[in-house]
A and B are shown apart, each in its own frame.
Chain A
Amino acid sequence: MLFSSLTFLFLYLPLVLAIYHLIPLRARNLFLLLANLVFYGAGEPVYLWIMVASIAIDYTHGWLIDRFRSRDRLARWFVAESVILNLGLLFFFKYWDFFAGYLGLPQFGLPLPLGISFFTFQTMSYSIDVYRGDAPVQRNVIAFGTYVTLFPQLIAGPIVRYQAVAHELAERRTSLIDLYEGVVRFTIGLCKKVLLANTIGVLWETLSAGPVTTGGAWLGALAFCLQLYFDFSGYSDMAIGLGLLLGFHFPENFNYPFLARSASEFWRRWHMTLGGWFRSYVYIPLGGNRKGTARTILNLLIVWSLTGFWHGADWNFLIWGLGFGVLIALERVWLGGVLDRAPRWVGHVYMIFILLVGMSVFALPDGWAHWLAVMFGKGPAWSAATGYYLASYLPALAVLCVGATPLPAWCYRRLPPRVRRGVTPVLVVLGLLVCTAYLVDASYNPFLYFRF
């Protein structure tokens, strides 16, 4: 089920929220677990067993790790087993066909279980955190199952590490302020997704499908960058908002990534929970930056290749990730200093250029090389159709570009409190109404990060 589907908004969500807040506190985890399974089952009924297996595997391993804590070798063994099982699940569904294709082994062509890249990473964090003593073991299988399957962030993040919600799994209250912020946050996310991402997504779909000019290729790259940001950050906003409505406080996932003036800064602002995950569980265990420059660079390249490959089993994702790794390594040894000394706009131009080129590689697993060739001068520069699309989407592009900066939030905060209080409920209802109109008449409503 998509958050931006009518079934979710007007059937699932009102029923789940109403029941959840009417039943006693102690029954909420069980109800939520069932509701989560319905949510997942609506999209992927045949893969419900993966959810059940995930809960069983990670619950037992957490317990075993805790039980044999005093015998470190055994505990380490259970951590390794848990990681292998989780990665094995991910590898089988996401990467097997890719490797099998090169090794001449049979390919299965199975559809990717929804959100598998997200929930396997979450459950791995549980075993590791328990071993490290960063999180207490969860003895209540219902509470644990609720964490593994938690519907707001189950299929597209943010990747919530177990320690972040361990406390709230046992005890959570929904305060008035949480509910209010949840409502506002969810509505903002829905608007970002339905009104902004989908609108500009049509431009990207059109431009990437047809014959393309150099101008069209840059326009398309811009459209795709904006679509990806509004789609994914909108989804994260909705997830965080839904979390608040249920009493959970999820970590932030985006912090105005297009303001970044270097690749390393970009990744501190973009999909922050994924970056944090790789940092805690790969980069730092590898030695991070504590083992000399050469080793640091190697660690960076490893982490960013994995980050790229996490996004999909194809060369373009690997190249995209590795490209960021190379840039970040370069920035660390030399380029970063240059950018720091240069005027601020140099950093912005540098980063926007990287993003337009980089996201084109990301967007087109098959056609990226051709697309880049067109961007850099192959074929006609401009056409009447390119002009039509630019003119037709110019207001939307302007709104999205401004929307990607902190300006709207800044303006809102600058409103006199009285005005802000009056305007907020009106905006929420208006936003919901317009989103509903777009969904009722929708033809185009994908979720980009569902592929991952």
Chain B
Amino acid sequence: MKTLTKILTISLFGAFLGLFLALHLILPDRDFSPLENRVLAQKPAFSTGAVLDGSFFDDLEEYIADQFPLRDGLMSLKADCERLWGRKENNGVYLAGDRLIERVDEPDETRLNNNLAALNRFKQQIDIPAYLMPVPTAAWLYADELPAGAPTADQDALLDQIRAGSLVGVVDLRETLAAHRDENLFYRTDHHWTSRGAYYAAEAFLNRIGKGGALPALGEPTVLADDFNGTLFSSSGYRHITPDTIEAYVSGEGVTVETWRNGSPETIGLYDERFLTEKDKYSAFLGGNTPLSIVRTGSEGGRLLIVRDSFADSFVPFLTEAYSEIHLFDARYYKLPLTQYIAENEIDAVLFLYSLPDLCTDPNLAVVCK
């Protein structure tokens, strides 16, 4: 009996190590993890040079981790163990009741100041109206739901600093978001705002520029998806949060979107329903991140350029009655100087729409503002 236990323990140990090795060899490698929404590391190429500089074994470790059998399940197991530890945070995501909130750390001031300086210089080179809309995140709006004392950047101070230092007119969303905070303005499993959050931001923006009348009515929404597990769901590993619902308040009839994903244009609607069957459902809005998208609305109102991050995707539908064309410019992937783009496309107004953490950390904004 005693011997049996020993043999059993030794065999289980050997089987455990061997089983994962065998599974790894048998199972095909994946290129992409839809759950984590990222490209996975592939088998590193063996070369003497790579072995000598140590990169081969680093790459090998990354490859094994990314292609590990049952990786998704193991990540979830880790998150559950962290919860058992009583931790309210995993991989930079706070667990706040039935809501996941992305942790926002106090940013490096130099980058923000550089970005503001770049915007100010840009403002002096153009003669069309320009606006800056920094979006405070869920960690600001739902700060009281964060775990007690949880460290988080002082987004109020950052927004005050931006208002004080920006020559570009700042659209401050704090008041309107706070007034509607009980209407679920941010997804619970994703870092983006919901369509409702974007709606109130659009209202604030249109009122600010005197086009309040072009705001669509907030009617009964169409449900695009009711099983949305967003970016925070993926990175946190927490699997017990109720999935989100993605809603659309604007039908998008007659609106076309010319999207430049990889060098050649593709025409889609306001909502790209192909994404609704995938993991990355938020990309159903305008087809997600692309270097450049041009929304043609069929309405009157001139041409708006939005220099943006992904918060703009669900925001744009609410501007379709206010402008005839909306150009979405993503400085991460498109490095054309903005002044040139504005001149070539006869743009009438510019809006810089960034989530506050992105505005504080994005290195590309200063490049296109040159």
Contacts and interface: CB of A to CB of B under 8 A. Distances in A.
Interface of A: 1, 5-7, 9-11, 13-15, 17-18, 41-46, 176-177, 179-180, 183-184, 186-187, 195, 199, 210, 383-389, 391-396, 421-422, 424-425, 428-429, 432-434, 436-443
Interface string B1-21: 111011111101110111011
Contacts of B157: none
Contacts of A429: 12-13, 16
B9 A183 contact: yes
B87 interface: yes
Contacts of B12: 425, 428-429
A179 B10 contact: yes
Given A176-B3, A177-B6, A437 B74 contact: yes
Contacts of B13: 183, 186-187, 428-429, 432
B56 to A, nearest CB: 8
Given A14-B14, A388-B151, A429-B16, A7 B75 contact: no
B61 A6 contact: yes
Interface of B: 1-3, 5-10, 12-14, 16-18, 20-21, 24, 51-54, 57, 60-61, 64-65, 68, 71, 74-75, 77-79, 81, 85-89, 91, 147-151, 237
A383 B150 CA distance: 11
B9 A184 contact: yes
A440 B71 contact: yes
B220 to A, nearest CB: 41
A24 B8 CA distance: 24
B6 A7 contact: no
A180 B147 CA distance: 44
Given A183-B13, A437-B78, A43 B5 contact: no
A402 B10 CA distance: 28
A384 B149 contact: yes
Given A7-B60, A385-B151, A46 B17 contact: no
Contacts of B20: 10, 436
B149 A6 contact: no
Contact of A1 (B57, B68, B85): B57
Contact of B78 (A14, A42, A393, A441): A441
B81 A11 contact: no
Contacts, number: 137
Given A387-B148, A441-B74, A441-B91, A45 B86 contact: no
Which 4 A/B pairs are nearest by Cβ-Cβ distance? A388-B149, A384-B149, A180-B6, A437-B77
Contacts of B81: 195, 434, 437-438
A439 B81 CA distance: 13
B75 A441 contact: yes
Given A385-B149, A388-B148, A388-B149, A179 B77 contact: no
B7 A11 contact: no
Contacts of B65: 6, 439-440, 442
Contacts of A18: 14, 18
Contacts of B64: 6-7, 10-11
Nearest to B3: A176
Contacts of A10: 17, 20-21, 24, 64
Contacts of B151: 210, 385, 388
Contact of A440 (B7, B10, B74, B91): B74
B304 to A, nearest CB: 40
A180 B9 contact: yes
Contacts of B75: 437, 440-441
B333 to A, nearest CB: 26
Nearest to A6: B64
Nearest to A1: B57
Contacts of B3: 176
A17 B57 CA distance: 20
A177 B7 CA distance: 9
A7 B61 contact: yes
B46 to A, nearest CB: 13
Given A176-B7, A179-B6, A425-B8, A436 B21 contact: no
A432 B61 contact: no
A7 B61 CA distance: 6
Contacts of B57: 1, 7, 42-43
A438 B148 contact: no
Nearest to B90: A441
A10 B79 CA distance: 22
Nearest to B18: A14
B226 to A, nearest CB: 28
A43 to B, nearest CB: 7
Nearest to A206: B151
A176 B8 CA distance: 11
Contact of B16 (A180, A389, A432): A432
Contacts of A42: 57
A441 B235 CA distance: 10
B71 A180 contact: no
A395 B147 CA distance: 16
24 contacts: A5-B61, A6-B64, A9-B17, A11-B60, A14-B14, A14-B17, A15-B21, A17-B17, A45-B54, A176-B3, A179-B10, A180-B10, A183-B13, A383-B149, A384-B148, A384-B149, A388-B151, A391-B147, A394-B86, A436-B68, A437-B77, A437-B78, A437-B81, A441-B75
Contacts of A425: 5, 8-9, 12
Contacts of A13: 17
Nearest to B9: A425
Given A10-B24, A434-B77, A17 B14 contact: yes
Given A6-B64, A176-B3, A388-B151, 4 more contacts: A1-B57, A7-B64, A14-B14, A45-B53
A46 B53 CA distance: 8
Contacts of B78: 434, 437-438, 440-441
A376 B283 CA distance: 53
A6 B68 contact: yes
Contacts of B14: 14, 17-18
Contacts of A389: 149
Nearest to B13: A183
Nearest to B16: A432
B51 A391 contact: no
Nearest to A418: B1
B148 A391 contact: yes
Contacts of A176: 3, 6-7, 10
B89 A392 contact: yes
Contacts of A9: 17
A424 B89 contact: no
A434 B82 CA distance: 11
Contacts of B17: 9-10, 13-14, 17
Interface centre among A424, A436, A438 (most CB of B within 10 A): A436
Interface centre among B3, B12, B71 (most CB of A within 10 A): B12
Nearest to A15: B21
Nearest to B81: A434
Given A385-B149, A438-B78, A199 B21 contact: no
A1 B68 CA distance: 18
B7 to A, nearest CB: 7
A342 B12 CA distance: 50
Contacts of A11: 21, 60, 64
B9 A428 contact: yes
Nearest to A384: B149
A35 to B, nearest CB: 15
